[in-house]
Structure 1
């Protein structure tokens, strides 16, 4: 034993102590202390060398390192570092829709900060690394649901706050129709339209675990415990009027003085063609505008009339509005008040408000919910109140009339939160080419 310790190099001992200290802090952060056994591996790697860790890289004849094994080691190390970064710190996403314009545009490539709220540990154990829910160049699932892990989030350095832009798994994305071509429709919207039996008879159904649902990005408007209301398109949080971010936009109806809106005008206002609607019958355009762009157009000679869109009558709403109950005559611009559930909060439940919280109780928190004989039963017991086991959030897109958000499908559970949108590192305009395709003014922009 003295001979063994006598061979230890002081430099290697320093490396071992530093690596061990970092690893112990990591284990403490994770809370999985059984991982401490790996310190024995570190000790052998840096100090004792009972296991010939590098022998496979050496030529048996000359004893020199071989090129290919060295290259393989470098690639494996790079992959391991990228995997750790993606899991615990940062993940890259690309924005496919206009729901967050003008804060974030279609074609923006962003980094999401996972450390801020704490990294969520993988919930699907058997999954292809560096994929989400499908294999590359295929529609086949990139995961197997043989073993699913319980929700676990490591400690972060902050919590979700009002107006944070968060990335999360789409709550209604647990059941999908792979052959559905209209991306604006979901399994649940179709169930409400044509019935579950019809869907099951004509479509293939795919069920996804929480961390394999599609990724969405929205602005958090309601925190756990908040009371939220929307009046004439304006959000009120606990009775206080929202602080409207500068880039938020609403739809407006307008008539162009020349009868048409030129592409140069739309480009100057940074308006996406995807959100422009034109009614040929009365020559009226419907376009999304920020307050600044609205004021600019109103003062110009380019339009003959302009009026803000407001959805007032549920009968004329273009989308089904949460909570999909005839007793709640809500629209996307007028809804509430409603209480956003908070962990350990107890709320009275009755036949009037159960539509607001039925999905939380039965799906997200996995209880057996039944309504019979004008009474509510949870796990077989008649209930007049319910205590929530998780935090929930109410989110909205900045493109208020062109966003599929909590107004249309309800609350976001805490275990669906991925991280906070942090930085736009690349921004590409889909309808342009060459250097003009790059939006230089959006590059390396902090997302607020």
Structure 2
């Protein structure tokens, strides 16, 4: 009895302590889920239309390719670059640690829709020059379709992509620019019905010409109307680098004549792949070697690559890279303009849409119901 009398009753937690413990548990659990398994993203731009729409809310799997361990460890939980609703940085880069990738059950494949941190391009002309100022794991998130993986030979011929000399199968909703010739005005409702974007029109010699952005299936439907007399693909000719808006990677017009629709063959860097450092290879892979390939004491000067102060004439890549493009081909800022995505910039695979909101829809049609819980292909 004496022992029982000496036991003190367990002190009850205050309501504030209970609340704090619950919040702390929720933050830790959400951080682990977000970092290791699934993370929610929102589509902010039209670079993947019609495959992914603006204000599609989707989940990205970290387990497919393996989650990355954090590089920037001093960060407010559940933030990216800034504290919510402010311009205050949500992190400090005073401590940066090497990041590693945990085992995944697959690797990035041709045709996958991938979320990655935008690497940028040091050679790109202003105002897009340089690379993202944030640490690798906090750089701006992009979403594109993987066209080429490490070791693939990619080229583009009159807007058609070839991988290892085989035509790449475009996603069903891939869009490109066309001009159509009609002998009468085309009702805007027809464009809307077919999901075609009218980007302008003009009249000439009794004909009406429309500039449109459309999928191949929409174009096939449009051809069935007899008032459409001709359809012309809007393609920049091979060798034409005159339009600086489409000055393509590697931004070296004396050695390359690449443009939006025509790219001469190149090899996507692969870990362990060795290349000779010719003038063209240096131009193509300079930013990879000097910025992204985890090298120390490397520099480019007088058209040559130096590592530890010594000129090198061949180079072996330290990690895999990828070539990414948007399905909305002519309204996508992608690898055609800024180059390769390093493996350590890969965030995860886009797997399904859980919500989609049409900002221009009426009250009853604000939610795109048909897109809810749809798989991303």
Question: Same fold judged by TM-score > 0.5?
Answer: yes
Q: Within the alignment, does 1:134 sit opposite 2:82 as a pair? A: yes
- Alignment RMSD, CA only? 2.5
More helix by share: 1
* Cα distance change on mapping 1:376 and 1:148 into 2, 3 Å: closer
Please report how far the alpha carbon of residue 290 of structure 1 lies from its aligned counterpart in structure 2 after TM superposition: 1.1
Instruction: Write the distance in 2 (CA, Å) between the matches of 1:159 and 1:234.
Output: 25
Say whether 1:217 aligns with 2:147.
no
Aligned with 2:243 (options 312, 316, 322): 316
- Give the Å deviation of 1:73: 2.7
Q: In the alignment, what sits opposite 1:85?
A: 33
The answer to whether the 8 A contact 1:225-1:341 is kept is yes
Match of 2:321 among 392, 405, 409: 392
For 1:178-327, what aligned pairs fall within 5 Å after superposition?
188-190=124-126, 207-255=133-181, 258-259=184-185, 261-262=187-188, 264-271=189-196, 276-279=198-201, 284-301=209-226, 303-312=228-237, 313-316=240-243, 318-326=245-253, 327=255
- Structure 1 unaligned runs (5+)? 1-51, 60-64, 176-186, 197-204
Higher strand share: 2
Kept after mapping to 1: 8 A contact 2:40/2:60: yes
Q: Take 2:374 and 2:133, find their aligned partners in 1: how far apart are those partners?
A: 36
1:169 aligns with 2:117: yes
Closer/same/farther in 2, CA of residues 242 and 150 from structure 1, 3 Å limit: same
Residue 28 of structure 1 corresponds to none
1:279-298 deviations in whole A, cap 9, x for unaligned? 55766432221111000011
Unpaired stretches in structure 2, ≥5 consecutive residues: 1-7
State how far apart, in whole Å, the 1-side matches of 2:117 and 2:324 are. Answer: 12
Tell me, in whole angstroms, the C-alpha distance in 2 between the residues paired with 1:394 and 1:214.
17
Is the 8 Å Cα contact of residues 397 and 404 (structure 1) preserved in structure 2? Answer: yes
Offset of residue 336 of structure 1: 2.2
Once the two structures are overlaid, the 10-residue window that deviates more, 249-258 or 389-398, is 249-258
DSSP 3-state at the match of 1:207: coil
1:361 maps to 289
Deviation at 1:231, TM superposition (A): 0.7
Question: Compared with structure 1, are the counterparts of its residues 191 and 93 closer, same or farther at alpha carbon in structure 2 (3 Å cutoff)?
Answer: closer
Matched, 1:352 2:280: yes
**In structure 1, distance between residues paired with 2:109 and 2:31:** 28
1:14 aligns with none
Q: Which deviates the most, 314-323 or 215-224? A: 314-323
Q: Give the equivalent residue in structure 1 for 2:300.
A: 370
> Are the aligned partners of 2:276 and 2:315 in contact in 1 as well (CA < 8 Å)?
yes
SS of the residue corresponding to residue 315 of structure 1 reads coil
Cα deviation for residue 257 of structure 1 reads 5.1
Structure 2 Cα separation of the partners of residues 265 and 378 of structure 1: 60
CA contact (8 A) 1:107 1:427 kept: yes
- The answer on whether the counterparts of 1:350 and 1:376 sit within 8 Å (CA) in structure 2 is no
Distance across 1 between alignment mates of 2:286 and 2:213: 34
Q: 4+ runs of 1 displaced by more than 6 Å?
A: none
Q: Following the alignment from structure 1 to structure 2, what is the Cα–Cα distance between the partners of residues 67 and 434? A: 40
Kindly indicate whether the alpha-carbon contact (under 8 Å) linking 1:311 and 1:317 is maintained by their aligned counterparts in 2. Answer: no
CA contact (8 A) 2:174 2:327 kept: yes
Report the Cα offset of residue 317 of structure 1. Answer: 5.7
Sort the Cα spacing of 1:281 and 1:427 in 2 relative to 1 into closer, same or farther, 3 A: same
Tell me if structure 2 keeps the 8 A contact 1:125–1:147. Answer: yes
Aligned length in residues: 362
